[in-house]
Amino acid sequence: MEIVKIDFPVIGDERGSLVALEQLKNIPFEIKRVYYMYDLQNDLARGFHAHKELQQILICLNGSCKVLLDNGKEKQVILLDKPNSGLLIDTMIWHEMFEFSDNCSLIVIASDYYNEDDYYRNYEAFLEAIK
């Protein structure tokens, strides 16, 4: 399975670091939604679904976490621990986020609005769909 990680250029000076995300430039799709997660619990994993059409870039802005990506044939676990690195979660990739560090926060750049009909939340249904 191809893992796509995007390293965003950091514009830094003595005041700190700045990263710019721009649709169809360093984000490979049109951006329709941005959401974020914080107060994450180390032992409470999230995700456990795949998207039919949605593409997303997941960035760990603070702390670290692991992401399992599963295309139905292969599984890979990726560590996210850099605020200037984004992980592409493409369509039809089952994903789970887990082992959140203290103060972990995640921001997600998404190609479409929230739509519950775009989710496969049942693993067997996901496997059936990608056959």
- Residue from 33, 49, 66, 82 carrying the catalytic annotation: 49
Tokens representing residue 6 in the block:
């995007």
Residue 56 as a binder of ligand T46 (CB under 6 A): the answer is yes
The smaller minimum CB distance to ligand T46, of residues 17 and 122, is found at 122
3-state DSSP assignment of residue 55: coil
Q: How far apart are CA 21 and CA 9, in angstroms?
A: 10
Is 46 one of the binding residues for ligand T46 (CB under 6 A)? yes
55 is an interface residue for ligand T46 by CB under 6 A: no
Q: From the list 108, 112, 123, 127, which residue makes contact with ligand T46 (rule: CB under 6 A)?
A: 108
User: Is residue 83 near ligand T46 by the rule CB under 6 A?
Assistant: no
Q: Could you count the other beta carbons within 10 Å of the beta carbon of residue 18?
A: 11
Q: Which residues lie closer than 8 Å to 67 by C-beta, 6 or more apart? A: 47, 58, 77, 78, 80, 87, 89, 95, 96, 97, 98
Q: Which of 47, 63, 72, 83 binds ligand T46 (CB under 6 A)?
A: 47
Binding status of residue 38 toward ligand T46 by CB under 6 A: no
Binding-site residue total for ligand T46 (CB under 6 A)? Answer: 9
Q: Which residues bind ligand T46 (CB under 6 A)?
A: 33, 35, 46-47, 56, 58, 89, 108, 114
Catalytic residues: 49
